[in-house]
C-alpha cells in the first residue's frame, strides 16, 4: 500500500519568540542533511518553523524518523520530548501545528486548546477597548496560519 497511512512530527527545542529569525536556517539545514542521506527530494517533507512533518507509508515514515533523529544526535541537537501535542514518532494519529490528523479515518479537527486560545483572542478584540499590540499580533499570526486551512482567502 503506497498511500500515506502514518506520519511523524519532530520539533526542535528552540521555542522562543526569536526562533523564526535565528533558527529557521538551522532547521532547514537539518532537514536537508536528512534528505541528502536518504537521497529523497525536498518536496517529500513539510517544515513549518522548527516543526518537521513527514507523511507516508509506515516503512518510509520509520526510515525518515530514525534518520532525522540520527542527524540531530550526530550534531548534538536536542529535539523536543515526544508528547502528544508537541512531537511524536511514527503513528497514524497526531497533533500537527494545532490540527489533529487521523490517517486511519482520513479526518482532521482543530486542537481544542488551540481553538479556545483563538476564541479568547477574538473575544478580546471584540470586547476590549484597550487591546495590547502583542495580543493583536498573536491574533493576526493565528488567523494567517489557519485561514488557508479553512478556505479563508
Alpha carbon distance 92, 49 (integer Å): 23
DSSP letter assigned to residue 129: S
For residues 117-133, average pLDDT? 85
Question: In terms of pLDDT, which residue wins out, 133 or 34?
Answer: 34
**Among the listed residues 141, 113, 145, 139, the one whose alpha carbon sits nearest the alpha carbon of residue 125:** 139
Is 41:95 a contact under the CB 8 Å cutoff?
no
Alpha carbon distance 4, 92 (integer Å): 9
Check pLDDT > 70 for residue 97.
Answer: yes
Measured CA angle at 66 (ends 48, 31), to 5 deg: 30
Check pLDDT > 90 for residue 121.
Answer: no
Percent residues over pLDDT 90 in the chain: 28
Question: Would you call 5 helix, strand, or coil by DSSP?
Answer: coil
φ, ψ for residue 7, nearest 5 deg: -145, 165
**Residue 124: is it exposed, middle or buried by C-beta count within 10 angstroms (0-12/13-18/19+)?**
middle
φ, ψ for residue 143, nearest 5 deg: -65, -40
Q: What is the pLDDT of residues 19-65, one digit of tens each?
A: 566 677 888 999 999 999 999 999 989 888 778 889 899 999 999 99
Amino acid at each position: 500500500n503506497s498511500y500515506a497511512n502514518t506520519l511523524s512530527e519532530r520539533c526542535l527545542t528552540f521555542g522562543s519568540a526569536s526562533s523564526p529569525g535565528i533558527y529557521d536556517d538551522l532547521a532547514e539545514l537539518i532537514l536537508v542533511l536528512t534528505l541528502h542521506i536518504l537521497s529523497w527530494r525536498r518536496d517529500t517533507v513539510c517544515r513549518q518553523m522548527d516543526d518537521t512533518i513527514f507523511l507516508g507509508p509506515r516503512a518510509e515514515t520509520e526510515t525518515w524518523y530514525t534518520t532525522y533523529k540520527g542527524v540531530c544526535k550526530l550534531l548534538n541537537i536536542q529535539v523536543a520530548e515526544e508528547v502528544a501535542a508537541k512531537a511524536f514518532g511514527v503513528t497514524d494519529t497526531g497533533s500537527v501545528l494545532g490540527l489533529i490528523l487521523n490517517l486511519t479515518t482520513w479526518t482532521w479537527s482543530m486542537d481544542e486548546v488551540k481553538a479556545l486560545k483563538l476564541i479568547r483572542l477574538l473575544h478580546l478584540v471584540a470586547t476590549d477597548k484597550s487591546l495590547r499590540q502583542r495580543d493583536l499580533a498573536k491574533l493576526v499570526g493565528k488567523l494567517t496560519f489557519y485561514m488557508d486551512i479553512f478556505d479563508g482567502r
